[in-house]
Amino acid sequence: MSERLLPTDPASIGGHRLLARLGAGGMGVVYLGRTEAGALAAVKVIQAEYAHEPDFRARFRREVETARRVTSPWAVPVTGADPDADEPWLATAFVPGPSLEEAVARHGPLPTRSVRVLGRMLAAALREVHAAGLVHRDVKPANVLLAVDGPRLIDFGIARATDETAITSADMVVGTPGFLSPEQAEARGAEVGPASDIFSLGCLLAYAASGRPPFGTGTVDALLYRTVHDEPDLAGIEAGEDTEGVELLTLLRLCLAKDPADRPTAEQFGTVLLIEDTVPEGEQIDWLPEDVVRVIADRSAEMLALPDIEPTVADADASAEAPDDAEPASPGRRRLLLASGAALLMAGGGAAAWAVLRDDDPPGASAPRARRWAIGLQADLSGPQRTAGKAQEQGARLAIEQFNSRKNKPFELTLKPVDDGGSAGRAPGAAKRLIDDADVLAVLGPTSDDTANAVLSTYDEALLPLLCVSAGGLLLTQQQYRSFVHCRPSDSYLAFPLGVYLMKQEGTRRAGLLQDRTGRTYAQETASITNMMLRRLGRPAYPRVVPADTDDLEPVIADMLRSGIGSFVYAGYAQGAARVAKELVTVGFDGPRITSQAVIDPAFLEQAGDAAEGWMLTSSFIDPSAVPAAEAFTAAFRKRFGAAPGYYAAEAYDAVNLVLQELVKAAKATKGGRPPGRKELVGLLRKSRYKGITKEFSFRPEDGTFAGWGVSLYQVEDGRFRFVGEAPSKV
């Protein structure tokens, strides 16, 4: 899988310690690297002689920009880059599995079900590529890495925007012969669009199912001619009496149509051509053959044997005393702290020593410095989610003010809010301000998934505890972070009570389940978990999926009603739910209608009107005005801010009180009553239990994932969202 570094290879690139070579070509090398936070990355480095060519550097810069525009669970994300360096580099998250090309070459064709699942996930990745206005242009088996939880599409080196002028010449064939479209084979530049990626995906799936490219092998000219003029060779992909086989063959023939207009879009690929049953269900994705899974497991184990990161050299003003729980590093790995002559010993694994130690007193201090410690708040205080952001600020401020009013407090705290405007572009700068403030012990926020995903690794490198009460998407849990504490159930978990609630309704017939692609990953999570729950409870749903921004829902709802459904589950956002609600009223449907948190939005009430009445909704937040345990909080909030608390105010209040609980306990156990450092606080928070006014808090110590229940039910009543209480967790 990897090779040893050569003596001429650099020791590090862009903050990544290089561990091994993953591959090399004529233009550069791909290294396996590790960040100071301990995350593995594939670091692509371009040789200096090519970097001096203006056109080449422009193409590389475009590759970086292009890859950053794609956000999908099934596309490898960019974690860092410097296209302007002497030797430009690009780092992406490392996937330890083999490429599809390697897996098929070593273990043979994949089973039909595996190919179908592969197709759905890669189509989902391409849907995001195309939604970003891009065309990948090199979808091939070597550019798909296999992981237990799904494939990853890589290498956007020749991707370009659909309206962008190509840097390469107009008559140049761009792509990999045997896996490119007829329009690419004939260098019809202006015609190379999203449909070209679908043709390439068809070639890739045919290869996965049969073990050979559909247009054979041979010289480049022969491959290009067959692609344009010959029919694909799909022999060996037998339909027989197997429905899955029939559908796969039909799909491949549509994808491999010579005319781009005859091919399905990435959207249609996942909503029409493959049935919902191919979506992996449950906590473990079971989609690959055992021998491929074994290779992935072996390679993951190899990662554990890789060397650690060299110890970090602390800043001159950092303490020279290591935290109590630090492990001694070997003498050969010590570095001199040149500014002061002191030595700092640090365990490997990527911890940033300065971020942990700068909270400590200077060496020789006999008493804690007079300082006011702080809880940071990163929130959207001026952007699209400012209502939730301001509610969190107010809840956090109330908790800190109440703490400071105590007579026997060990220290005082202040709240330091930073507004990121709900912008993923502004979020890293906001995070840096809080990280650089040595008085900040922990941070509450950010408000949205986009801003959270933009800063999680930043907080991780600084080992500054980050407690999140509102963001809850799938991407937050895809990677293990060292400082993240998730103070709410994830969005996918909110789907669990939907099936439980429907099973409790007496006489309720089969549920209709509508996934609205406008809701992107959120809708897919909700639909998949609900479908899985109902199936396991012995009452399979009737699932349908509609493309993004579908206005006419009458045909799909009519089809669902013809199937005999007696209840309805919607997976998506508020605007789509309003259209569904009005259509259901139009056709006279009065069975249970249920959806999840994203629809608790004034837009749903405004756009649906009376059609919203009776809808049930699950959420991760409560209405404190309707919860007896929150009566004192609600009264104090009204007195302090002159209004009832908004959504997430009570959750923020609880999260800050959770931090205060651990700070006080640790301070009482230390000389001088000072709070713990950031690294120590992360561990304390992840091991903590706290009974708040919104829910009971507990976490998985290894990754900070929320381990409690904390799901609530609302119902639309008299034009408002009425809090019902805790959502059912058992049938």
615-626 pLDDT, tens per residue?
999 999 999 999
Kindly tell me if the per-residue pLDDT of 167 is higher than 90: no
Q: What is the CATH number of the domain that holds 81?
A: 3.30.200.20
Report the SS3 class of residue 701. coil
Q: Which of 74, 93, 112 is the last residue of a domain?
A: 93
pLDDT band at 497 (very low <50, low <70, confident <90, very high): confident
Percent of the chain with pLDDT over 70: 82
Q: Which of 252, 273, 298 is the last residue of a domain?
A: 298
Same domain, 185 and 324: no
What is the rounded distance in angstroms from the CA atom of residue 711 to the CA atom of residue 488? 9
Same domain, 498 and 427: no
Same domain, 280 and 221: yes
Q: What pLDDT sits at residue 721?
A: 97
pLDDT band at 251 (very low <50, low <70, confident <90, very high): confident
pLDDT tens digit sequence for 450-460: 899 899 989 98
Kindly tell me if the per-residue pLDDT of 411 is higher than 60: yes
Q: What pLDDT sits at residue 160?
A: 55
Q: What is the CATH number of the domain that holds 595?
A: 3.40.50.2300
Kindly tell me if the per-residue pLDDT of 336 is higher than 50: no
pLDDT band at 310 (very low <50, low <70, confident <90, very high): very low
Instruction: Give the distance from CA 643 to its chain's centroid.
Output: 35
- Whether 42 is in a domain gets the answer yes
Q: Are β-strands 616-619 and 593-595 bridged in parallel, bridged antiparallel, or unpaired? A: parallel
pLDDT tens digit sequence for 473-494: 866 766 678 899 999 998 878 8
- Whether 212 is in a domain gets the answer yes
Q: What pLDDT sits at residue 647?
A: 95
Q: What pLDDT sits at residue 285?
A: 61
Kindly tell me if the per-residue pLDDT of 341 is higher than 50: no
- Whether 277 is in a domain gets the answer yes
Residue 686 structural domain: 373-489+628-699
Q: Which of 298, 323, 356 is the last residue of a domain?
A: 298
Instruction: Give the distance from CA 633 to its chain's centroid.
Output: 33
Locus of tokens 């247009």? 215
Which carries the bigger pLDDT value, residue 343 or residue 154?
154
Which carries the bigger pLDDT value, residue 257 or residue 276?
257
Average pLDDT of the chain is 82
Report the range of poorest mean pLDDT among 97-106, 159-168, 438-447, 605-614. 159-168
Kindly tell me if the per-residue pLDDT of 352 is higher than 50: no
Same domain, 498 and 485: no
pLDDT tens digit sequence for 199-209: 999 999 999 99
pLDDT band at 338 (very low <50, low <70, confident <90, very high): very low
Same domain, 115 and 260: yes
- Whether 316 is in a domain gets the answer yes
- Whether 224 is in a domain gets the answer yes
Kindly tell me if the per-residue pLDDT of 170 is higher than 60: no
Q: What pLDDT sits at residue 269?
A: 76
First vs last Cα of the chain: how many Å apart?
48
Same domain, 167 and 79: no
pLDDT tens digit sequence for 75-87: 998 899 998 888 8
Same domain, 224 and 161: yes
Catalytic residue among 84, 138, 230, 380: 138
pLDDT band at 342 (very low <50, low <70, confident <90, very high): very low
Same domain, 126 and 48: no
On whether the CB atoms of residues 211 and 104 are closer than 8 A, the answer is: yes
Other C-beta atoms closer than 10 Å to the C-beta of 282 total 11
Which carries the bigger pLDDT value, residue 670 or residue 461?
461
Same domain, 384 and 444: yes
Kindly tell me if the per-residue pLDDT of 543 is higher than 50: yes
pLDDT band at 248 (very low <50, low <70, confident <90, very high): confident
What is the rounded distance in angstroms from the CA atom of residue 251 to the CA atom of residue 232? 13
Same domain, 668 and 604: no
Kindly tell me if the per-residue pLDDT of 183 is higher than 80: yes
Kindly tell me if the per-residue pLDDT of 220 is higher than 90: no
Report the range of poorest mean pLDDT among 308-312, 317-321, 605-609, 664-668. 317-321
3-state DSSP of 398-421: HHHHHHHCCCCCCCCEEEEEEECC
Q: What is the mean pLDDT of residues 272-276?
A: 48
Kindly tell me if the per-residue pLDDT of 520 is higher than 90: no
pLDDT band at 158 (very low <50, low <70, confident <90, very high): low
Q: What pLDDT sits at residue 531?
A: 82
Locus of tokens 């502004």? 426
* Of residues 696, 669, 663, the one with CA closest to residue 681: 663
Q: What is the mean pLDDT of residues 118-125?
A: 92
Q: What is the mean pLDDT of residues 570-586?
A: 96
Q: What is the CATH number of the domain that holds 169?
A: 1.10.510.10
pLDDT band at 345 (very low <50, low <70, confident <90, very high): very low
Which carries the bigger pLDDT value, residue 319 or residue 185?
185
138 is catalytic: yes
Question: CA angle, 460 as apex, 457 and 463 as ends, to 5°?
Answer: 160
Kindly tell me if the per-residue pLDDT of 500 is higher than 50: yes
- Count of domains in the chain? 5
- Whether 218 is in a domain gets the answer yes
| Residues in CB range of 707: below 8 A, 6 or more apart | 698, 699, 700
Same domain, 127 and 260: yes
- Whether 136 is in a domain gets the answer yes
Q: What pLDDT sits at residue 479?
A: 67
Which carries the bigger pLDDT value, residue 730 or residue 259?
259
Percent of the chain with pLDDT over 90: 50
Q: What pLDDT sits at residue 671?
A: 72
What is the rounded distance in angstroms from the CA atom of residue 324 to the CA atom of residue 146? 41
- Whether 704 is in a domain gets the answer no
pLDDT tens digit sequence for 623-656: 999 999 999 999 999 999 999 999 999 999 999 9
* Of residues 90, 225, 215, the one with CA closest to residue 155: 90
Same domain, 183 and 250: yes
